[in-house]
Structure formats: structure tokens, C-alpha cells
Amino acid sequence: AQTVTQSQPEMSVQEAETVTLSCTYDTSENNYYLFWYKQPPSRQMILVIRQEAYKQQNATENRFSVNFQKAAKSFSLKISDSQLGDTAMYFCAFMKPGTASKLTFGTGTRLQVTL
């Protein structure tokens, strides 16, 4: 079974600064997908970024980028130029191919962006 670990329960960053959220996972699969979801206080789960394991290039979406280290089974999220609206819980998630988008989530990191 796959496991996803987020070792930082809470983090804080000042507005306009950069922050990195950590995620590690355990799997015996060679091909899989990794995701970061954001959950603001509104409770909605919002997809931030997606990485396919067979792609070596790190995914980027505007201010959000990942550092995907397949050998180390690490998948960190970097948020640049942090904004107050980035305040949220962030969940790392793993998906094995052929499982109809069935996701295994980490326990989340609560990010607070301050003035």
C-alpha cells in the first residue's frame, strides 16, 4: 500500500516570501501521479499542481512549482511571492495508474501567510 507523509503540520511565511512544503511517499510502483491540493478556510479542495512520475521535468503553475526527486520519493511544493490568499491547508496526494483517480492523501500542512 502507498503512504504519503507530510512532516510539517504547520508553517508560516511572510507575504512576498518563498516557502517550501515537504512531502515524501512510499511506493513500489514505477509509474504514478502526484498532486498538491489546497484547502482554504472555505473548505473547498482545489488542485494546485500535478506531476507525472515518468516526466523528469518539474511541474510549474505560475507561482507554484514542485521539486520532484523520484529516487528519494520526495515531492515538495514551492510557493513563490506568497500572497495572503495562499493561506490554507495543503495536501500532498499519490495516485497509482489504473486506479480510476483513487488518491491517497498526506495529513496536510497548514500554511499561514502573514503581513
Residues that bind another protein (CB under 8 A): 33, 35, 37, 42-47, 50, 91, 95, 97-108
Number of helices followed by number of strands (H, E) in the chain: 0, 12
SS3 86: helix
Q: Minimum distance between the CB of residue 74 and another protein, rounded to whole angstroms? A: 20
SS3 4: strand
What does the block give as the cell for 40? 482554504
Q: Among residues 23 and 106, whose Cβ is nearest to another protein?
A: 106
Q: Minimum distance between the CB of residue 37 and another protein, rounded to whole angstroms? A: 8
What does the block give as the cell for 49? 499542481
Q: Minimum distance between the CB of residue 94 and another protein, rounded to whole angstroms? A: 12
Distance CA 36, CA 6 (A): 11
Q: Among residues 7 and 114, whose Cβ is nearest to another protein?
A: 7
Q: Among residues 85 and 98, whose Cβ is nearest to another protein?
A: 98
